[in-house]
Structure 1
Amino acid sequence: MPSIKKDDINLGIDYCLKNDLFKELNDLYNSIPNGDCIGCGKCCMESVGANLVEFLNIYNYLNKNKNVHNIVMEKILDYYFKEYKEKMPCPFKDSNNRCLIYEVRPLNCRIYGHWRKKDYNKNYERIKKDNIEFARYMEEEHNIKVDESILNYKIEYCEKFKPSLDYMNKDERMKYYDRGMVIDSKLYSKGIMDIDFRDRGIVEYFIESIFFNNVASNIRINITKNNSYKVLRRVKALVL
């Protein structure tokens, strides 16, 4: 049984629909100022963090769009299990740089271009430091050396995105994230889903809806150590 049970996901989606949590989420999204994006897709190169209600909203969307669902799930498996060996784009991006879940994309994607450059670069330095620490841990504990091209990859600040208003400072951005947390709290407080409260990337949510977390992690370590994707092909045959 996976870490995030399918029955719990269905209960969560049902609760969100009956109690207008998806509507609240859309109201939050619609309150973000517009911006002029050229659609180059250069920012869509990682699994962004997402709230639980955002995951349920995306899961529900994919259930209603089976053709997109099948494409996305294979990309998610590739992204997760090849993460230490290959730098892959966001699994929700297609070959034409279009977002396959654009209507329900997470808050992190919607607010990306609104960062001030100084804040963006400062945040990158923090992430880089965390990545270096994680790479050191993987080498010491699992004898896995994370590829340098992945470790040092940087999504460059987008100079071409033009917000309709001014760029946001940290306090302005946090107001949107705080509203998202309030929406999440309405679901967590009901205890209808057996899921721990912690930060997750959107890919992690989907992986945990398929595997036990430690099982998926062990498979990924095995694939990386043996530099072989035979195991991944067997996993796909079972899952897809």
Structure 2
Amino acid sequence: MLPSVELYNALNKAQGNNMLAELQQIYDKLPQTTCNNCASCCNWGSPPAFFIEYLNMYKYVRDNMKEQWGEVLTRSAEYFYLELVDVNQKCPFVGPDNRCSIYQVRPLSCRIYGLLAKSDFEKGDLNQGLKFIASKLWDEYQIKVPSEIANSELKWCGNVKNPTGKHLKMDVLVSATSEVAKIDARFFPENLVDQEGTSLPYPVHLMNTVLGDGARARKIKIMKEFADQGTKTMLAPILKKANNFEF
């Protein structure tokens, strides 16, 4: 789990040392893709983001989305606790029109989707991780992950287009990821960053900030209640707390 970092000290450090500008420069090296807004990639789950990307997102939501704070926080809390047991969960930042509410500050993992050729994209098997987690949850806690989630798969999408008309090589995307990780290493020990300890979905980062170190402690019980009964009794007061949080 990501160590606790005093958020505003970290944000001030990032701004004072031009880290957010460095992050944007990395983003700007990538082609700007377009698509048909089907949101199939967004509905698959909330993609991982490095800590510096989380700070970038947090600042954006704080400064530009005050009217949506409650909605963002409530949906993020639900996603944090129920992503593996509720088939209706999707990235909390996707709106009913399938558009991303934080598109300007979306993480690298979103920006690189569709930039690889199909053959390169399909070399990895993202689904194996979900199957392992589903098996572990059943063996240890008798929590049944719905088959729609355990067997879900992020597929290559031919509707994503970039202006160059060419797909990028894997080493280009690996290099971009490494550059972002180097910024994170200015906050955390390099070995933690190397192990992807700072790369977490936005809602996970956000709930660690909003709910503190106890956020994960309640997760198994809340998941089991929903999986067994379809209810959110234990989750309700947490949603209320999240809804009242001010950025």
CA shift for structure 1 position 189: 5.8
Q: Distance in 1 between matches of 2:130 and 2:28?
A: 33
Q: Distance in 2 between matches of 1:118 and 1:37?
A: 20
Is the 1:128–1:152 Cα contact (8 Å) retained in structure 2?
A: yes
Write the letter of the residue equivalent to 2:103. Answer: Y
Unpaired stretches in structure 2, ≥5 consecutive residues: 191-195
Write the letter of the residue equivalent to 2:216. Answer: N
Which segment is superposed worse, 215-224 or 133-142?
215-224
Per the normalisation by structure 1, the TM-score is: 0.87
CA shift for structure 1 position 237: 1.9
Residue of structure 2 in register with 1:228 after alignment: 231
Residue of structure 1 in register with 2:113 after alignment: 112
Q: Distance in 2 between matches of 1:105 and 1:216?
A: 28
DSSP 3-state at the match of 1:159 = coil
Residue of structure 2 in register with 1:83 after alignment: 83
Is the 2:184–2:198 Cα contact (8 Å) retained in structure 1?
A: no
Q: Distance in 2 between matches of 1:40 and 1:213?
A: 32
Is the 1:37–1:161 Cα contact (8 Å) retained in structure 2?
A: yes
Is the 1:58–1:101 Cα contact (8 Å) retained in structure 2?
A: yes
Matches within 5 A, 1:38-187: 38-45=36-43, 46-64=45-63, 65-87=65-87, 88-123=89-124, 126-165=125-164, 166-187=166-187
The structure whose RCO (Cα within 8 Å, separation 6+) is larger is 1
CA shift for structure 1 position 83: 1.7
Is the 2:78–2:239 Cα contact (8 Å) retained in structure 1?
A: no
DSSP 3-state at the match of 1:157 = coil
Which segment is superposed worse, 207-216 or 173-182?
207-216
Write the letter of the residue equivalent to 1:93. Answer: V
Residue of structure 2 in register with 1:214 after alignment: 216
CA shift for structure 1 position 234: 2.3
CA shift for structure 1 position 135: 1.1
Q: Distance in 2 between matches of 1:59 and 1:215?
A: 23
Query: C-alpha deviations, 1:30-70, integer Å up to 9, x for none?
Result: 11112232222221121111111001111111111212322
Q: Given the superposition, is the C-alpha separation of residues 56 and 4 from structure 1 closer, same or farther in structure 2, using an over 3 Å criterion?
A: farther
Q: Given the superposition, is the C-alpha separation of residues 214 and 82 from structure 1 closer, same or farther in structure 2, using an over 3 Å criterion?
A: closer
Q: Distance in 2 between matches of 1:10 and 1:201?
A: 20
Paired positions, count: 230
CA shift for structure 1 position 173: 1.0
Q: Are 2:9 and 1:11 aligned?
A: yes
Q: Given the superposition, is the C-alpha separation of residues 203 and 239 from structure 1 closer, same or farther in structure 2, using an over 3 Å criterion?
A: closer
CA shift for structure 1 position 121: 2.0
Q: Given the superposition, is the C-alpha separation of residues 79 and 214 from structure 1 closer, same or farther in structure 2, using an over 3 Å criterion?
A: closer
Write the letter of the residue equivalent to 2:233. Answer: K
Compute the RMSD of aligned alpha carbons.
Answer: 2.1
Query: C-alpha deviations, 1:73-116, integer Å up to 9, x for none?
Result: 11111212222222222111000111111111101111111021
Is the 1:84–1:146 Cα contact (8 Å) retained in structure 2?
A: yes
Residue of structure 1 in register with 2:193 after alignment: none
Is the 2:127–2:151 Cα contact (8 Å) retained in structure 1?
A: yes
Per the normalisation by structure 2, the TM-score is: 0.85
DSSP 3-state at the match of 1:187 = coil
CA shift for structure 1 position 198: 4.1
Q: Distance in 1 between matches of 2:109 and 2:234?
A: 32
Residue among 26, 29, 48 paired with 2:27: 29
